A = this chain, B = another copy of it.
Amino acid sequence: MFELAEAGNRLEKDDYEKAAAELRPALLALEQKLREAKDMAVAVLIGGVEGAGKIETANLLMSWLDPRSVEVNAFGPDDESRGRPPFYRFWMHLPPKGKLGIFYGSWYTDPIVRFASGDMKKAQFAHELEKIRTFERHLAAERVLLVKFWLHLSKDAQKKRRKKLAKDPRKAWMLATPQEHRYFKLYDEFYAASEEALRVTSTAEAPWTVVEAADRRWREATVARTLLDAMSAAMEARPAAGPKPMAVPKKKPRTALDAIDLTRTVARAVYEKELEELQADIGRLAWEALERGVSTALVFEGWDAAGKGGAIRRLTQGLDARNYRVVPIGAPAEEERARPYLWRFWRHLPPSGRLTVFDRSWYGRVLVERVEGFCRPEDWKRAYSEINDFEAQLAANGTRLAKFWLHITPEEQVRRFEERRDTPHKRYKLTEDDWRNRRKWNAYLAALDEMFARTSTSIAPWTIVPAEDKLGGRLCVLRTYRDLLKSALKKSRKTRQAVVLD
């Protein structure tokens, strides 16, 4: 793969200047179009061997483009994730629509370095590359254009380049970083690891461009030309079908919910006693989770007025406010609309040992957005596997997840709507949306059925909460969370040493 990039290509000064005179205004024009249309983002990855001119290439793009639409993201040791999955920091730095993000160091760096240095086994490396493919497919589907450059130098060219650097007082520091010398000695290992990585991740939606980097002018012209072509092709492509609301089935669809017994009730006295025990258990377990760095996330979905808020309040009542966060999910903000759908959930993931409660969640994509036609069909269709990948990353990271669907009958819902209407301090909870959603009950049932079928996994199963009886529903939620904490802590006691926080 890299042999082609050792052909000795060069560009003479005149040719370079001619090319630059054409490329610069063309790139600027596209960038302006991007900024104005705001319907896609561009992520430019600059990878390659040490000394091939990665920093210079980032600087070139910064100087040729209008810096107002460019963000440079450089990644050193990970001091941002604080216990969240490794992709967290890349998610957080995704460029918004209308902008161009340059990634100097990226999601490829760690796997390649570790595999080349012998710190990662081949099977694990293959798995990491698979995760990258999934991530990039996801970005591409949400109109993040990926332009990936690999700057290549032959072993000889790299040696020459090092000699030249050592003599240039402005650049000698580049050789002084601790990893530089080590990487140089591992040239062959890096060669093999990079080739494997590029082979597996050169996909239709996110291909690599290997750039012969020995000659600065050739390198720069190649990068600029490739970026220009990729951007102009992507900006011509337009999303196909528009959003369309779901048809409401006339007949009530059969679903997993039919099997739920909604008739059982709990006596107030029994409830009070068990609630007290559960809150005490959860309070105690939550401290241990904090000490051991066991993070948890809870998803609350359910029919309007099914009692999500009340259940969340009972659950958090005994917790220290510093250690959990309730995130209500409503209509997305400007900055959220500008990024891939899951961005707004990634940003709220709990750091080490904490809890995040999502009051509505990423399942909105396959429920309300599907039913109301707030997104295009391919968006919600793709969402099941994106969601499963997302939850698998949480699980792999040790973040335990429980997902609740609070279930009631349509008759009970009406009773609760009427109660809200008639109680001054509850009136705000009832909106026109609630009545509209209600008329689409059967559409929601159909969407729910598919959701349960496709996203109830062994690592992140759904808990259907019989919430017709409010008290019983709350106990079910708290019991599930207590058991989740217990099992997570049991596992953590086995596998890790306790960490004592200061």
Contacts and interface: CB of A to CB of B under 8 A. Distances in A.
A318 B105 contact: no
A67 B25 contact: no
A148 to B, nearest CB: 17
A170 B280 contact: yes
Nearest to A319: B55
A333 B333 CA distance: 11
A495 interface: no
B59 A316 contact: yes
Contacts of A424: 21, 24-25
A454 interface: no
Contacts of A75: 322
Contacts of A105: 322
Interface residues of A, number: 62
Interface in A302-334: 309, 313, 316-318, 320-323, 325-326, 328, 330, 333-334
Contacts of A317: 59, 170
A63 interface: yes
Given A62-B313, A328-B68, A334-B333, A322 B76 contact: yes
A239 interface: no
A131 to B, nearest CB: 23
Most central of A77, A170, A279, A429 by chain B CB within 10 Å: A170
Contact of A67 (B59, B67, B326): B326
Contacts of A333: 334-335
Given A59-B313, A334-B333, A28 B428 contact: yes
A496 interface: no
A64 interface: yes
A313 B63 contact: yes
A52 to B, nearest CB: 14
A24 B68 CA distance: 47
Contacts of A72: 321, 325-326
A24 B428 CA distance: 11
Interface string A76-110: 11010010000000000000000000001100000
Nearest to A325: B72
Nearest to A24: B425
Contacts of A330: 68
A276 interface: yes
A287 B173 contact: yes
A25 B177 CA distance: 63
Most central of A21, A62, A79, A330 by chain B CB within 10 Å: A62
A16 to B, nearest CB: 14
Interface string A322-366: 110110101001110000000000000000000000010000000
Nearest to A176: B287
A330 B334 CA distance: 17
Nearest to A82: B79
Interface in A97-127: 104-105
* Shortest Cβ-Cβ A-B pairs, 6 listed: A24-B425, A74-B322, A169-B280, A25-B424, A74-B321, A170-B279
Interface of A: 21, 24-25, 28, 32, 55, 58-59, 62-64, 66-68, 72, 74-77, 79, 82, 104-105, 169-174, 176-177, 276-277, 279-280, 283-284, 287, 309, 313, 316-318, 320-323, 325-326, 328, 330, 333-335, 359, 424-425, 427-429, 501-502
